[in-house]
Every structure is written in structure tokens, then in C-alpha cells.
Amino acid sequence: MEHHPDVASYIAASTQWPDVVTAATEVLRGCGLQEHIKWGKPVYSHDGSNVVIVQEFADFMAIMFTKGALLDDPAGLLHAQGPNTRSAMRMQFTSAEEVQGHADDLRAYVAAAVAVEDAGLEVGPAPEPDPPEELAERLAADPGLSEGWDSLTPGRRREYVIHISGAKKSATREARVEKVAPRIREGRGMRDR
């Protein structure tokens, strides 16, 4: 079975981890998934649902399971994408030999990911984080801001909380609240136009 032409082109153009990507995609192609390029990366789908994405990073090549949080991890191979990512989990590899050594594990994880899709399982919504003190005080003191906040979706509120809380100093958090307050008052998310 040959690679999808777009995936073959991707591998041919890879300068970071071509051998590792080749080893990973060889295993993934044998798992009964549809292979294609999406978001500029090799993606493997099952019945139209994305199951696995192959991603190259500076320090490793990753095989990301889109609903990895729902998978058991008996081999201890799954890593979180980042502190604010809830669903995706990834395996990280730095050599083709490492991929080949975990080929059976990879196949088992893919089978589990397909079972998650077949069962229609979804990762539940993230618990809504508490606003940082600077934002909470401002919301309590400003009814218009509070009304705008309440009109935001949980995801938009979460984005504001993460952005404001990311500042180490209280003064910087206050400045961030001041900057985003007009958008919140209008019921717009950070990236809404």
C-alpha cells in the first residue's frame, strides 16, 4: 500500500524528522485509517473523524491522538500537549528505531482511539476556571462588565482567564483587565472581530 500522494510529498519535503515520520506513517497506514493532509500535516481518520495527527517539532516528532485524554496509557507513552489542552495527547519520538520499538503499542493505542470514535465518546467540557482576583474585583464593581462577562461562552471566558492569569505581576494582570474590558462589555471574545 502506497502513501497518499500528499503525504508522500510531505515526507519528501521534511527536513526535521523524515525518517521518524516515515516509520510512524508506515505503522499508521497499517491500522485501517484514511490517510490525508490536513492543516499541512499527515492526518489519519476513521469514518470521517480525525484520530491521529503527525506533527514535527524542534525536539521530537509527535503522534497526536485527538481524543487522547479518553485513552488508557498502559505503556506510559502519552504526553499532554500543553497546560491548557484537555483532549489531545501525544506520543513523542526522536528516532525511527524508537517508533519501530513501540509499533505494537502504537497499533494498540490507535485501536483504542478508533473504539473511542465508534462509541461516540467525547471529552467533557473543561471546568470553568475562577477569574483572577483582579478580574473578579472588576466584575463585582462594574455591572456592565459583569453583564458582558455573563453573556460570553465558557470557552471565551476561559480564554480571558488564561490570558489575564498568565501575567506574573498583579499590575500587569490589572492592565490586561483594563485592555480587554471593552471587549468583554460588548460580549466579544478575545479573537472576535
| CATH assignment at residue 33 | 3.90.1150
| Domain stops at, among 65, 86, 118 | 118
| Domain stops at, among 118, 141, 169 | 118
Looking at the structure, tell me whether residues 104 and 154 fall in a common domain. no
Looking at the structure, tell me whether residues 149 and 113 fall in a common domain. no
pLDDT digits (tens, 9 = 90+) for 40-98: 999 999 999 999 999 999 999 999 999 999 999 999 999 998 877 889 999 999 999 99
Domain count, the chain: 2
Report how far apart, in Å, the C-alpha atoms of 15 and of each of 11, 23, 38, 57, 125 are: 9, 15, 19, 11, 37
* Distance separating the N- and C-terminal Cα atoms of the chain: 46
Q: Could you tell me the pTM of the whole model?
A: 0.74
Q: Does residue 38 form part of some domain? A: yes
For the chain, percent of residues with pLDDT exceeding 70:
99
